[in-house]
Structure 1
Amino acid sequence: MALRPAETTAWADTLNRARTAAPEAFDTAGDLVTLRNLVQGQWRSGGTPGAVRTPVDQSLLVHLPRLDADAAGQAVAHAAAAHREWAATPLAERKARVTAALDELTAHRDLLALLLVWEIGKPWRLACADVDRALDGVRWYVAEIDRMLADGREPLPGPVSNIASWNYPMSVLVHAELVQLLAGNAVIAKTPSQGGAVCLTVAHAVMHRAGLPATLLSGSGEELSEVLVRAPEIGAVAFVGGRSNGGKVAAALLDSDKRHFIEQEGLNAWGIWNFSQWDTLAAHLKKGFEYGKQRCTAYPRFVVQRDLVDEFLDMYLPVVRSVRFGHPLAVDEDWRPGDPLPELDFGPLISAAKADELRRKVDEAVRGGAVPLYRGKLDGAPFLDGQNTSAYVAPSVLLAPPGHSRLMHAEPFGPVDTIVVVDTTEELLAAMNASNGALVASLACDDTEQAEKLAVDLQAFKVGINKPRSRGDRDEPFGGRGASWKGAFVGGDLLVQAVTTGGDGRLYGNFPDYSSYPAT
């Protein structure tokens, strides 16, 4: 049956809704739509425009104007002045303005979610979850912030600079900004280069109207890093991304005492040892394919006891074959407005370049000796006739990736899993710790006492016993061990402590001279 785009979800209609919601944030010349930057307290045109395309089908979305370092420096200076005024604003007023922003963001919830479908390729259900987690999470902080600041905590001396990846624009970036604002800090956010620009533009227009001192600017990381990281006016740097760019940020902060929280990638692993609860594990692993494993808490590595390999594969390979992916808005001829949108596990990767890079990594590992247990095909997936599918990658599973391959020690950030077979618990731990630190890890083991003993030696911030771990929400802390994290931990009270000073003076984090906050 031929598929067609779902009515009411076309990009032209979605963009018009965004422009209606935030007309002040867009420039239009004929059919050319260009975003503005929110700098120096207003939406401004300027910068060098670059085309932004959707990974869904590679069509043009908008143009994003990238600022240079001088323009970014002026934006930071203005944000620092706004910070001083905001820090002196009574908490009750800060709560009222953040709540007003939350109310309007809630009114635009479906628009924000549909923008994420187009901009970063999230299926509808997952895009809605990203928006809902942001709004629900911040409302929890609004209810808790009086308690969190009751011990005399004060805002930082300057605004918080946020440099985040493209995969969770709302539930990571906007969520963090609103909590930082609630705690009394002005905020600066760099628009991710690869996706989410329109969603973030609409969200920041709402925040700006509510009287919140927020800056949103775009530009290359290389051009703006010196300003957004090292500028003396910056009170803290929050970074979410890979180890390469995270390492550059950390290096830029070496000679300063600037507050920072740098979340970096890690190869999160499931260890399978003396285990038999296969049906339960299958449900966890199916959910793990959501958004094509393009998230920092995905599990792309399975370390399996040799005696259990046959049972593990009997459970696991049907799970992989059942994963649903394709165009997130393609429906059949019977679909009508108001009907549910496609229920997929994932759509495209963030870009055709990323998809090509991942395919090359798989081919490299196979040439080096990895055994391809499963290599999915795009054939049969729900796509439109003639659609550009260059950003889509079907699931792959490789057994025994060679030690020199990139898939052995680094996360693929896509739907590619690797399996390592071990004979001893010592080998199990070594294989699970292959990336020198991770954000999460899990052990599947019938003997929970044995699992808890093994967990002590895992270099992951959170370890699940017979369940996965995630970033968490509300009062749950989050961080990393080893090279997966640098600086203060976040989440719950720790997020507010990371962007305030005073109280008892403690700051939990992954610091060179401080043992990490206990994993929970």
Structure 2
Amino acid sequence: MTVIETFDPATGKPLTTHPVMDDAAIEAAVVEVADAALSWANVPVAQRSSLLLRVADTLEAQREALAALMTSEMGKPLREARGEVDKSATTARWYAENLDRLLAPQQVDVGGAANAWVTREPVGPVLAVMPWNFPLWQVMRFVLPALGAGNTVLLKHSPNVTGSALAIESLLLDAGVPQGVLRVLVVDEARVPEVTERLIDDPRIAGVTLTGSNRAGAAVGAAAGRAVKPSVLELGGSDAFVVLADADVAAAAEAAVRARFHNSGQSCVCAKRFVVAAEVADAFLDRFLLGVAKLRVGDPTDEAVDVGPMARDDLRTAIQRQVDESVAAGARLVAGGAAVEGEGWFFEPTVLTVDGPGVPVFDEETFGPVAAVVVATDDDDAARLAGATAYGLGLSVWSASTERAVALAAKVTTGAVFINSVVASDVRVPFGGTKQSGYGRELSAEGMYAFMNQRTYWAAV
């Protein structure tokens, strides 16, 4: 029997094995979500709201177990894992409390010739291909609005967090969500591209969402295009954190440490490139390095630890390659720069100063605890450096003047701008990227409507 084996990143030792599904089991899951879609779409909105509240309650009741599972499978510090559960519960409550408003028919004034209104209706089963770095939140930020809308979900999670995927399926059943509304696929990694493309082409699957790499996103987007189905892609990011000359340098430096090293730097919206005005560059770098030096690296179950291991050894190898090639190309290593000796897949919190594009830590997405700092001569230069990337997910700008920060942000294409704040996702506002960071939006009303048919009614009078 073919199995998926999961590992503890803090030790590198095996955790458990999960049998993979053969074609017959995959087909049974597709049948189940397709059948469930017919009834789930007709469940009254008030009842779906009640179930989302029960999902929130169940998340809170299972908080410690879910957090411990995520920490064991991908290595995030336990307190960050708890935060992931809390954020998911908050999101479930928001959709529950706003579902009636979000799904109410919208009257449209077209004059006296007719009565017109727009309804929003579920499209049916949606395939969700999800990554490992936020094993619960990445799934829930799609699943909660999808279920609220009346869609069902076929979830293909990352192999190294298979236990978390199965826990999500069990959690929804515990909350009273009907069987078949969400089914998990456990697919042999070598077969994922083939199975994914086949499912997207299946007429029973109404759409697809993916959070992951650009290579996977390109394949899924192409398959969705061929099948003429809606898709949402949330891909990589190389977010700039811009500190202007009038910024509160102490506050910016403190936030910069959180922005880069949260989740051991393994986040699409982690700030990765720090663009700092020349007037404050030395002061910022000094404070930033002091903050990095205080980070505690180690056992992620230790409540005092700030940075856990990387999720897989191959990811650590990739980060080492980016650092080494950048130094060889002229970047200057000012902190860290190497794997931590001993068991587990730890990497030192690392800072490099660079002159701009032309080195991997500036040009590529660095998915780990590595920061690149570059000096800008003025605001126009800062905008140029911030925008010198193929990605376009988020942008953080620090300035005493909101007007000045907005003026800079207008010159940089991103899906979100956070002024004097770290880029983050929040259920109340849409989340998503531009350029190579993908397309479509998650969260808020827009995230729900991404997989709904907006139907126009026109009744002549």
Q: Distance in 2 between matches of 1:68 and 1:223?
A: 13
| Deviation by residue 1:32-76 (Cα, 9 ceiling, x = unmatched) | xxxxxxxxxxxxxxx621221111111211112233556434422
- Partner residue, 2:265: 293
- Given candidates 304, 313, 317, the residue that maps to 1:352 is 313
Q: Which shows bigger deviation, 251-260 or 89-98?
A: 89-98
Q: Equivalent residue for 2:48?
A: 94
Is 1:388 aligned to residue 343 of structure 2? yes
Instruction: For residue 276 of structure 1, report the CA deviation from its aligned partner.
Output: 4.4
Report the equivalent of 2:415. 461
- Indicate conservation of the 8 Å contact 1:154/1:184, yes or no: no
3-state SS, counterpart of residue 67 of structure 1: coil
Aligned to 2:292: 320
Change over 3 Å in CA distance of 1:106–1:468 after alignment to 2: closer
Query: Partner of 1:215 in structure 2?
Result: 183
Shift of the 453–100 alpha-carbon distance from structure 1 to 2, 3 Å rule, reads closer
Describe the superposition over 1:106-154 as per-residue Cα deviations: whole angstroms up to 9, x where unpaired.
2211101111111111111101000111112101111110111111644
Change (3 A) 1:315 1:102: closer
The answer to whether structure 1 residue 484 and structure 2 residue 449 are counterparts is no
Judged with a 3 Å threshold, the aligned counterparts in structure 2 of structure 1 residues 422 and 53 are, in CA distance, closer, same or farther, namely same
Question: 2:305 is matched by which residue type in structure 1?
Answer: L
State whether structure 2 residue 204 is matched by structure 1 residue 227: no
SS of alignment partner, residue 33 of structure 2: helix
Q: Deviations over 1:232-270 (max 9, x none)?
A: 211121111121111111111222331111101121001
How far is 1:301 from its partner? 0.3
Maintained 8 Å contact 1:240/1:264:
yes
Equivalent-residue separation in structure 2 for 1:262 and 1:371 (angstroms)? 35
2:163 aligns with 198
Write the mapping of 1:405-484 to structure 2, written as runs, cut at 5 A: 405-472=359-426, 474-484=427-437
Q: 2:449 aligns with which of 492, 497, 501?
A: 497
Residues 26-37 of structure 1: pairs in structure 2 closer than 5 A: none
Does residue 156 (structure 1) correspond to residue 122 (structure 2)? The answer is yes
Kept after mapping to 1: 8 A contact 2:145/2:443: no
In 2, Cα distance between equivalents of 1:190 and 1:139: 25
For the structure 1 residues 104 and 312, does the alpha-carbon distance in structure 2 shift closer, same or farther, using more than 3 Å as the test? closer
State the alpha-carbon separation in 1 of the partners of residues 277 and 199 from structure 2.
Answer: 46
Is it true that 1:81 corresponds to 2:35 in the alignment? yes
CA distance in 2, matches of 1:317, 1:301: 15
Deviations 1:173-215 (A, max 9, x none): 03421321121111111121232x2223122113135243111
What's the CA shift for 1:476?
1.4
Contact 1:443–1:451 (CA<8 Å) still a contact in 2? yes
How do 1:369-380 residues align onto structure 2 when only pairs under 5 Å count?
369-375=330-336
Q: Secondary structure at the match of 2:380?
A: helix
CA RMSD after TM alignment: 2.2
**Is the deviation greater in 437-446 or in 256-265?**
437-446
Q: Distance in 2 between matches of 1:504 and 1:248?
A: 32
Question: Which position in structure 2 is the counterpart of 1:367?
Answer: 328
Shift of 1:89: 2.1
> Do the aligned partners of 1:273 and 1:445 also contact (CA within 8 Å) in 2?
yes
2:227 alignment partner, SS class: coil
CA distance in 1, matches of 2:53, 2:441: 25
CA distance in 2, matches of 1:157, 1:365: 47
Within 5 Å, give how 1:113-132 maps onto structure 2. 113-132=67-86
Q: CA deviation at 1:364?
A: 1.1
The answer to whether structure 1 residue 57 and structure 2 residue 28 are counterparts is: no
| In structure 2, C-alpha distance between the alignment counterparts of 1:490 and 1:105, rounded to whole Å | 20
More helix by share: 2
SS in 2 for 1:460: coil
Q: In 2 relative to 1, CA 64–441 (structure 1 residues): closer, same or farther, beyond 3 Å?
A: same
Distance 1:371 1:238 in 2: 39
Matched, 1:262 2:233: yes
Number of the residue aligned with 2:279: 307
* CA shift digits 1:331-376 (9 cap, x unpaired): xxxxxxxxxx422222001111111111121011111111112226
Task: Mark the runs of 5 or more structure 1 residues left unpaired by the alignment.
Answer: 1-46, 330-340, 506-520
Change (3 A) 1:427 1:68: farther
Q: Shift of the alpha carbon at 1:504?
A: 6.3
Contact 1:94 1:182 (8 Å CA) reproduced: yes
Percentage of pairs with the same residue: 28
Native 8 Å contact 2:355 2:375 kept in 1: no
Alpha-carbon distance change, 239 to 136 in structure 1, aligned in 2, over 3 angstroms: same
Q: How far apart are 1:401 and its partner, in Å?
A: 6.2
- 2:231 is paired with a residue whose SS is strand
Instruction: Name the stretch that deviates more: 138-147 or 435-444.
Output: 435-444
Partner of 2:113: none
Tell me if the contact between 2:316 and 2:339 (Cα under 8 Å) persists in the aligned partners.
no
Please list every run of 5 or more consecutive structure 2 residues that lacks an aligned counterpart in the other structure.
106-117
- Could you tell me how far 1:97 is from its partner in structure 2? 3.4
User: What SS does structure 2 have at the residue aligned with 1:51?
Assistant: strand
Report the CA distance shift for 1:286/1:317 in structure 2 as closer, same or farther (over 3 A): same
Q: Secondary structure, in 3 states, of the residue corresponding to 2:48?
A: helix
Aligned counterparts of 2:281 and 2:177: Cα–Cα separation in 1: 58
Match of 1:332 in 2: none
Alpha-carbon deviation of 1:483?
A: 1.8
Q: Which moved more, 1:76-85 or 1:242-251?
A: 76-85
Q: 1:51 to 1:174 in 2, by over 3 A?
A: same
Q: What is the rounded CA distance, in whole Å, between the counterparts of 2:456 and 2:86 in structure 1?
A: 33
| Distance in 2 (alpha carbons) for counterparts of 1:445 and 1:504 | 45
- Shift in alpha-carbon separation, 1:153–1:164, aligned structure 2, 3 A: farther
Work out whether residues 73 and 227 of structure 1, in 8 Å CA contact, stay in contact via their aligned partners in 2: no
> What SS class does the counterpart of residue 501 from structure 1 fall into?
strand
